[in-house]
Amino acid sequence: MRQVRRKGALRRQRAQRRGRVAEWLCLWHLRLRGWHILARGWRCPAGEIDILARRGKVLAVIEVKSRAELATAAMALAPRQRRRIARAAEAFLLRRSDLAGLDLRFDLMLVAPLRLPRHWRGAWRADD
């Protein structure tokens, strides 16, 4: 029984490490394209946002998904998770009223091994 728990814990640790590396890659990808990173791993009781970035008049709420294939990464964002991210974005804007006038957009960044991150702009809307 103890060995089974250890294997599960190791799997979770590996997945968390892959997620951190994927977020780091996405941050650099965004910075190189002129995005200003406002927050990373922003949490509130409503949910968590992987990356909040601004470029011009656009405030992007970005979810990062890392999988073995880009197609499976794209399918990994469930409707429930999209709703939680949208609620977290509302909470973020309540705290940062200086950003309320920006165009809010929900993006998805997909990461697969040996590939550059793929930025899917406007992947979903808050009312989906």
How many angstroms from the chain centroid is the CA of residue 12?
18
Task: List the structure tokens of 34.
Answer: 């002129």
What is the per-residue pLDDT for 4?
A: 59
What is the per-residue pLDDT for 82?
A: 96
> Domain spans of the chain?
22-124
What is the per-residue pLDDT for 3?
A: 62
What is the per-residue pLDDT for 127?
A: 81
Can you name the residues that pair with 60 across neighbouring β-strands? 53, 105
Number of alpha carbons in the 13 Å side-chain half-sphere of residue 112: 11
Based on the number of CB atoms within 10 Å of its own CB, is 3 exposed (0-12), middle (13-18) or buried (19 or more)? exposed
Q: Per residue in 48-73, pLDDT tens?
A: 999 999 999 999 999 999 999 988 98
pTM listed for this prediction: 0.90
What is the per-residue pLDDT for 38?
A: 98
What is the per-residue pLDDT for 56?
A: 97
Rounded Cα gap, residues 58 and 51, in angstroms: 14
For the chain, list residues with pLDDT below 70: 1-5, 128
pLDDT above 70 coverage of the chain, percent:
95
Fold of 22-124: Trna Endonuclease; Chain: A, domain 1 (3.40.1350)
